[in-house]
Amino acid sequence: MRDADREAFDEFVRARLPQLLRFGHALTGSPHAGADLVQDALERTMLAWSRIDSKDDPEGYVRRIMVNRNVSIWRRYRRERLVDEVPERQLPDRTRDDSLWEAIKLLPTKQRAIIVLRYYEDLSEAQIAATMGCSAGTVKSQASRAMAKLRELVKDDAMVGGEAR
Amino acid sequence: MSGLEDDLKRVLEQRADGDYVTGADTMLERVHSGAQRLHRRRVGAAVLCTLALVAAGAGVALGGGNLTNTTPPVVTQTTTAVPSNGPTTAPPSVPASQGVQKPPVGGRTTGTTSAPATGSTTPRPSTGTTTTRPPSGPVVTGFQPSAIRARGAGTFWAVGRADCDGKPCSPVLVSRDGGQSFSVAGVPPGDHHTVGGDGDYLWVYGSSGFHHSYDGGRTWARPGPDPGWVTRTFNTSGPPVIVVNDGGKPKLLQGGGIPYFREIEKGLERPDDWSHWGRAVASGRVGDTIAVTVSNTNHVPRPTGCKATADASQVSVVGDVIWLLCPAGSYFSVLRSADAGLTWTTVAKNVRGTSGMGLAARSASTVVVGMNSGWGLRVITSGGSVREVRIPGVLDAGSVHFQTADVGYLVDRDSGYRSTDGGLTWSKLLFTGFR
């Protein structure tokens, strides 16, 4: 990598890192996993930096990598995430927002990505489809399933003892 | 929007908006070392793959295979003319068992080059290696544009990625009817993401360096010496005007001289942006403000009144008018000068913007700002009106540029778009139906 390229890349990272970390957090549900995801995407972006034209959108490029890598990393590690015991129930005094945040984290990775891109990034179905490399129909059906699951999870949680807003 | 949707927006914004302990320097340190590791892994995998292929080839040879049948023939010279504006025809596929192979795409010759095509307006310097497209041409499928450059209102070229006879390639397509139909102008060797042209003179740039053609794309050559790493290209007629950056000060070069590329502007230091319309114009920081420097004016940076921010300013020139995009956080202003930067008028102030914007002059009275994140365009007039234009399906309109006051182009991800009404409506270009 040429010095000028490296300078431009470093400048981009310094300028956009907070936004990318927030996006990674929303995508993974964890600030630490989000930071790892950002690092992974930036490593790939750095190697491809010279191919990214100055008129391109490097941040969009990084975000696309993050969405797609999040799915593939999750596929690779999902076995490690399986647990023998049921995780502890959440404390009963949490708010509806807590319940919703936990429910988002319980969504399958693709559905969570769609929810984050739709409601955090404000992207349209077509834009989400382009980012994730699937059809708009798939985005629509997955979003519908995700919303149904969220409604169910939040409702169940409220019945167990969650505080309704 | 339902209650759950409102809640989702709020919760995602609140929960993801935490304090992040990872600082930029720490992250950069990790990214640099991680990228090196990743690069080493990729190189190692490529070497292993090559060794496996070599071993497989040796196995075939030792097993009685005929090496002459597995080695592509070398194309020495092709003299059959291919109409630059007509569709090429693919040769009928022949089973490999018959022992006949199609000529390779991008076969190399050394030494001489073919005679220049008639109608070329650019003097032809001596060149190094030449690559000749077979007269029949490859079968190009799955074209995805990387860049579009126009010559007139109806003629434009697109370079991108595709499959040529099943192998990755970067063909140049040409349309002479405003995008109604396309034909393959040529297949330069390597991977390219930038294209430009003037009649039969075409040029491309990408990871394989700079290549040009004097015969509408039939033959391609690398100029000598290579101009270097091209970071910007300009939509000029005649010889290409490009910005190269090899680690030092960026240079604005123009083709056509001896050596082929010559520096045409020496007095500008690391500008934010360049534009070129007969003369070079650059914008950059001078102290706390953005200044514009115009060539042939003793290189005196002329203050614009735009306060310098972390985001880069942009310039776009049409005729005698210079337009300047002045970003400020999430907002931007647009300034205009009609006297080579001596005086400036702010025509639009504090317009909401995005990162990665693009500025494209349409005429002396209208300029267009392309934005990303699906925000579309803002069409701004010298009278101060700002018109919002949404482009369905387009996420990033930063590559927008206009060939005339009405005809413009943009490339978003893997699709190209064309407008004939100054950017108010856009048609998606369908790169199909050619061979």
Residues of chain A with C-beta less than 8 angstroms from the C-beta of B395: 57, 60, 123, 127, 130-131
Q: What is the mean pLDDT of chain B?
A: 74
Cα distance between residue B284 and residue A142, in whole Å: 46
Side chain identity, residue B255? G
pLDDT surpasses 50 at B202 = yes
Better-scored residue on pLDDT, B100 or A20: A20
Provide the 10 A C-beta neighbour count for residue B134. 20
pLDDT at B128 over 50: no
CB pair distance less than 8 Å for A26 and B18 = no
User: How much is the average pLDDT of B345-370?
Assistant: 92
CB contact under 8 A, B372 and A60: yes
Q: Which residue has the tokens 């070229």?
A: B157
Is the pLDDT at B386 greater than 90? The verdict is yes
- Could you tell me the pLDDT band of residue B423, with boundaries at 50, 70 and 90? very high
Q: What is the mean pLDDT of residues B233-252?
A: 72
DSSP one-letter string for A104-134: HHHS-HHHHHHHHHHHTS---HHHHHHHHTS
- Tell me if A47 and B229 make a contact (CB, 8 A cut-off): no
Residue of B nearest to A43 (CA): B35
Q: Is B166 a residue whose pLDDT tops 60?
A: yes
Instruction: Sort out which chain A residues have CB atoms less than 8 A from B413's CB and list them.
Output: 130
pLDDT tens-digit profile of B264-282?
766 566 788 888 887 788 8
Specify whether the CB–CB gap between A156 and A86 falls below 8 A.
no
Nearest CB to B374 within list A47, A124, A151: A124
pTM: 0.52
pLDDT band at residue A69, thresholds of 50, 70 and 90?
confident
CA distance B412 to chain A (A): 9
In this predicted structure, what is the pLDDT of residue B63? 40
**B8 touching chain A per CB within 8 A:** yes
Chain B positions touching A57 (Cβ under 8 A) are 355-356, 372, 395-396, 398
Q: Which of B10, B38, B232 sits opposite A47 (nearest CB)?
A: B38
> Which residue in A14, A47, A55 is closest to B358 by CB distance?
A55
Produce one character per residue of B323-353: b if its CB has 16 or more CB atoms within 10 Å, e if not.
Answer: bbbbbbeeebbbbbbeebbeebebbbeeeeb
Q: Which residue of B has its CA nearest to A103?
A: B8
For residues A148-154, average pLDDT: 85
- Taking only Cα atoms into account, the Rg of chain B, rounded to an integer number of angstroms, comes to 25
Position B56 confidence tier, pLDDT thresholds 50, 70, 90: low
Q: Which of A16, A57, A61, A101 to mutate to test the interface with B (most CBs of B within 10 A)?
A: A57
Beta carbons of B17 and A22 less than 8 Å apart: yes
Least confident window among A140-154, B24-38, B224-238, B256-270: B256-270
Please give, rounded to a whole number of angstroms, the shortest distance from the CA of B116 to a CA of chain A: 31
Tell me whether residues B16 and A2 touch, CB distance under 8 A: no
What span, in angstroms and rounded, lies between the C-alpha atoms of B226 and B184? 25
Closest CA to B204 of B161, B247, B165, B164: B161
Does pLDDT of A88 surpass 50? no
Q: Do B34 and A16 touch (CB under 8 A)?
A: no
Distance CA(B265)–CA(B11), nearest Å, equals 53
